[in-house]
Amino acid sequence: MSNFLPNALIERLNKEPEFNMQAFLQVHEQEQKISSVRINPAKLKNPQALFPQAESIPWCDRGYFLKKRPVYTLDPLYHAGAYYSQEASSMFLAYAIQQLQLDKKALIALDMCAAPGGKSTLLQSYLSDDSLLVSNEIIKSRANILAENMMKWGGANVVVTNNDPVSFGRLPGFFDLMVVDAPCSGSGMFRKDHDAIDEWSEANVKLCAERQKRILADSIEALKTDGYLFYSTCSYSREENEEIVDWLSEEFDMKGIDLDVRAEWKITRSQTPKSNAQTFRFYPHEIKGEGFFFAILQKKADQSSFNRKRIKTEKNAAPKDELQKWINDEGLYAFLHQDQLHAFPKAYALELEALQRVLYLKNAGTAVGKWTGRELIPSHDLALSMHVRKDIPAIDVDLESALQYLRKDNLDAAVNNSGKTGWLLVRYEGINLGWVKALPNRINNYYPKELRIANL
């Protein structure tokens, strides 16, 4: 069998205990692409109907391996945020949250390197409904994609930010949970993407390890005492994995946390050389997924806390009664940002004020719509929200009309067979796709121009 993987990587992996190099090389020869999805429980109540032959992912009770990769672009439910296409190994976060019972209490969580949104949508689904999630991405173009995917997911308890990690150091002890899926050298993706092999080098591994340390050192102050850090990469290199965990333990007084993982899952346990912290490696010749490294650390250092008492809330000019016309507003309040009306959890009003003072925010909560001073023009965000009122008039469409709508083509007035007028939701399989405005003899399509799908 020819060895087309970098020799330096092979030498490193051969030093791993009980590592099966022959099986590892064989699985990389195949360049197999495994399709997996995770459903949005707030929108998709019967995943077996949509994915009838899907196989459950052992460590994620809402994740599924698909027999065949679908054309996501041609599935209206994908555009509606009913499910997310995510690599199976990355879904291990769900198991960690449940094992640590972080889903049982209200938390403030930060996903530091969040784009395109896989781990953030997972966090939003698995953390309790009364938690707050801050999803951050440093690169502006990727932050736009992140904001789009979080909008599709539909939660109001999410703030999307576009900041360098150093900015979060100005929020000491603010977060109960930090997730850092760190930029890495990417060797865990070689089976899926052979083109990435040519970009790997020992120099890049070193560069990535330095970048990972900077991200963590700049932001770790934002994690409170006894708070949890979920650290992960898609690399096999110890410099980016176990050695980072040991560095965190030494420099920031953090303790590795173990999980009870079933042997039949074939997730490989790995121990760090200095602190003996338990970590987890996912190898594609052992599990049905890509290469992945995961570790949990708990902060033991005494950490000062951000002083919320210094924050003075600003006068709220939002129209008081408008929100409840459009949204199930229990536990939510309305605020205006420029001319946009937003809905956000009342319990975190003070935290939002703090975030606004320290960070650049792309979005906060649900953007309900544009307030003209007399009326509201509903937003696409509202259409996809989990909180949009169930009694708002809607029209149900078939697949052909749904795709026509998603292309931003004109809809046949006949689809509005009940003759409703005004703002209407367009629904496919009972799930909202967006807005139209119905007139007596035509329907105006308000699907966002920037989201429309190409004609295929």
Quick: pLDDT tens for 43-65. 998 998 899 989 999 999 999 99
pLDDT the model gives residue 307: 86
Q: What is the average pLDDT across 424-452? A: 96
Q: Which of 345, 366, 426, 368 is nearest to 392 (CA)?
A: 426
Residue 286: pLDDT over 50: yes
By percentage, how much of the chain surpasses pLDDT 90?
A: 88
Distance CA(229)–CA(296), nearest Å, equals 6
Q: Cα torsion for 5, 8, 14, 16, to the nearest 10°?
A: -110
Tell me how crowded residue 45 is: count the other CB atoms within 10 A of its CB: 11
pLDDT the model gives residue 456: 59
What are the extents of the domains in the chain?
7-30+91-299, 393-456
Which tens digit of pLDDT belongs to each residue from 55-104? 999 999 999 999 988 899 999 999 999 999 999 999 999 999 999 999 99
Can you spell out the DSSP letters for 387-446?
A: TB-TTS-EEE--HHHHHHHHTTPPPPGGG-TT---EEEEEEETTEEEEEEEEETTEEEE-
The residues annotated with a catalytic role in the active site are 234
Is residue 106 part of an annotated ligand binding site? no
pLDDT the model gives residue 195: 86
Among 79-88, 149-158, 386-395, 408-417, the range scoring the smallest mean pLDDT is 408-417
Distance CA(318)–CA(320), nearest Å, equals 6
Q: What is the average pLDDT across 359-375? A: 96
Of the two residues 313 and 111, the one the predictor is more confident about is 111
pLDDT the model gives residue 455: 66
pLDDT the model gives residue 450: 95
- Tell me the pLDDT of the chain averaged across its residues: 95
Whole-model pTM: value is 0.96
Can you spell out the DSSP letters for 264-301?
A: GG-PEEEE-TTT--EEEEE-TTTSSS--EEEEEEEE-S
Q: Was domain 393-456 assigned CATH 2.30.130.60?
A: yes
Residue 1: pLDDT over 50: no
pLDDT band at 3 (very low <50, low <70, confident <90, very high): low
Q: What is the average pLDDT across 213-235? A: 98
Which tens digit of pLDDT belongs to each residue from 230-261? 999 999 999 999 999 999 999 999 999 999 99
Residue 2: pLDDT over 80: no
Is residue 117 part of an annotated ligand binding site? yes
Q: What is the average pLDDT across 115-138? A: 98
Q: Using DSSP, state whether 233 is helix, strand or coil.
A: strand
Can you spell out the DSSP letters for 14-54?
A: HTSTT--HHHHHHHHHHT----EEEE-TTT-S-HHHHSTT-
Q: What is the average pLDDT across 372-398? A: 96
Residue 405: pLDDT over 60: yes
Q: What is the average pLDDT across 3-9? A: 88
Q: 7-30+91-299 belongs to which CATH class? A: alpha beta
Q: DSSP letter for 159, please.
A: E
Residue 312: pLDDT over 80: no
Q: Do domains 7-30+91-299 and 393-456 have the same CATH topology?
A: no
Q: What is the average pLDDT across 304-308? A: 89
